[in-house]
């Protein structure tokens, strides 16, 4: 009997869908974010060959899974963007920008220094790329941890989430720079002028997309509301997201930059008529898609983490150095807090977790060295994944300590 070519993909998706929900349940029982369970599930699946089990090994190189993982991270960044609007971000004030900027710069500098110490014989662009990999806070992990602690609406909680959102925007700009570094693998490298031009390009795209998108979005959804067909709201919103993601890639930026911008642009007032007709909010419509596809990205990250590399030179040393740099780098966020009555230690602790941006840049590092120095790419990638796991694990106890919340306590405020 000849299997349909799609059959293996169906099996892989069934394992990922069921496995991630089981992993999320386990993580919730030990009060850890779901993303940690998704990565650990991937690590388990990817390293089954060490136990003599090879049946799932093809998933590592399955093109369809890789495509779905890429789509999942686009949808995730779109969903995160929908959590906030441009006016809300502008209302956050200088403190959120200051907190995000201070932690971002300090993390890049410390990560660059850590890489220079552990990998002294590698070129400066490799050290910079490692610094970039630890620069951005994971807004998803921060939001989940603060929610689990019942502090998402506290003064510190709102500031952490606001700064994490801004941090993600800044981090996406840095990702655009990192993606362009791939070309440096076969060239002479990237100059300061190149970096400035790429950063300016990313900022210009975001500004133009936000301004023009806010003008066009209400008009596009007004046209869509004339269509008498089911599912118009979701189709129109995803089309808007995918077009902006495509445009971002056309000018050389990562598609997630456009997806995040699309989420920020869309406001409920733009599609209220469609939302009323569909009887579900846009966030409610997008969330199931994100909850199914986004875990594919994180599981695949874990699957491609080869634990045998832990015995390779520099992997553990780089992982420890990056974790220290990641934790210490975000302590600079405390200095960026404006105003009185804010627990600076809590803000700094809440900015520690790394996630999406780090893993994306870890993949960039892997690609960067795929043809020239594959072992270096795997070393950086594995160290980055270990750093993500470590910072995700350390954040809940650090926040509990700074907030004075016991491990079994959940605030009801």
The predicted-structure confidence for 207-264, as pLDDT tens digits, reads as follows: 888 788 878 888 887 787 777 777 788 888 899 999 999 988 887 667 877 888 888 8
Task: Please give the pLDDT value at position 412.
Answer: 39
Structural domain range at position 128 = 7-187+281-403
pLDDT at position 21 over 90: yes
Residue 261 lies in a domain: no
- Lowest-confidence segment of 37-46, 106-115, 119-128, 194-203 by average pLDDT: 194-203
Residue 247 lies in a domain: no
Task: Please give the pLDDT value at position 97.
Answer: 85
Residue 172 lies in a domain: yes
pLDDT at position 145 over 60: yes
Q: Which two tokens stand for residue 50?
A: 């060490």
CATH of the domain at 25: 1.20.1530.20
Task: Please give the pLDDT value at position 118.
Answer: 92
The predicted-structure confidence for 349-361, as pLDDT tens digits, reads as follows: 989 988 777 877 7
Residue 56, beta-bridge partner list: none
Residue 214 lies in a domain: no
Domain count, the chain: 1
User: Does residue 249 contact residue 255 with C-beta atoms inside 8 Å?
Assistant: yes
CB neighbours of residue 284 within 10 Å? 12
């Amino acid at each position: 009997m000849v299997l349909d070519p799609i059959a293996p993909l169906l099996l892989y998706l069934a394992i990922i869908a069921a496995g991630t929900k089981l992993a999320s349940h386990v993580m919730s029982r030990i009060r850890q974010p779901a993303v940690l369970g998704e990565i650990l599930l991937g690590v388990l699946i990817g390293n089954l060959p060490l136990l003599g089990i090879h049946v799932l090994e093809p998933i590592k190189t399955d093109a369809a899974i890789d495509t779905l993982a890429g789509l999942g991270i686009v949808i995730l960044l779109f969903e995160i963007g929908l959590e906030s609007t441009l006016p809300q971000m502008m209302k956050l004030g200088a403190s959120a920008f200051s907190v995000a900027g201070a932690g971002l710069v300090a993390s890049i500098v410390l990560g660059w220094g850590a890489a220079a110490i552990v990998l002294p014989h590698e070129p400066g662009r490799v050290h910079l790329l490692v610094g970039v990999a630890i620069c951005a806070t994971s807004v998803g992990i921060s939001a989940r941890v603060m929610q689990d602690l019942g502090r998402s609406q506290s003064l510190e909680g709102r500031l952490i989430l606001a700064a994490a959102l801004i941090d993600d925007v800044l981090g996406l700009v840095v990702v655009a720079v990192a993606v362009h570094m791939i070309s440096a693998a076969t060239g002479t490298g990237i100059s300061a002028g190149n970096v400035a031009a790429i950063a300016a390009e990313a900022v210009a795209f975001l500004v133009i997309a936000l301004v023009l998108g806010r003008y066009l979005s209400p008009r596009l959804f007004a046209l869509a509301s004339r269509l008498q067909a089911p599912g118009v709201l979701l189709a129109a919103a995803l089309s808007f997201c995918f077009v902006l993601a495509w445009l971002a890639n056309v000018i050389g930026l990562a598609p997630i930059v456009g997806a995040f911008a699309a989420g920020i642009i869309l406001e409920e007032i733009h599609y209220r008529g469609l939302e009323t007709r569909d009887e579900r909010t846009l966030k409610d419509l997008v969330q199931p898609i994100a909850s199914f596809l986004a875990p594919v990205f994180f599981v695949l990250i874990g699957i491609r983490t080869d634990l045998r590399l832990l015995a390779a030179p520099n992997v553990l040393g780089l992982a420890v150095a990056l974790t220290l740099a990641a934790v210490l780098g975000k302590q600079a966020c405390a200095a960026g807090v404006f105003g009185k009555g804010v627990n600076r230690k809590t803000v700094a602790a809440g900015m520690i977790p790394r996630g999406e941006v780090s893993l994306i840049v870890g993949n960039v590092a892997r690609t960067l060295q795929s043809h020239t120095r594959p072992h270096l790419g795997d070393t950086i990638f594995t160290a980055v994944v270990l750093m993500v796991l470590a910072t995700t694990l350390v954040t809940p106890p650090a926040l509990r300590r700074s907030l004075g919340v016991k491990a079994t306590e959940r605030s009801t405020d």
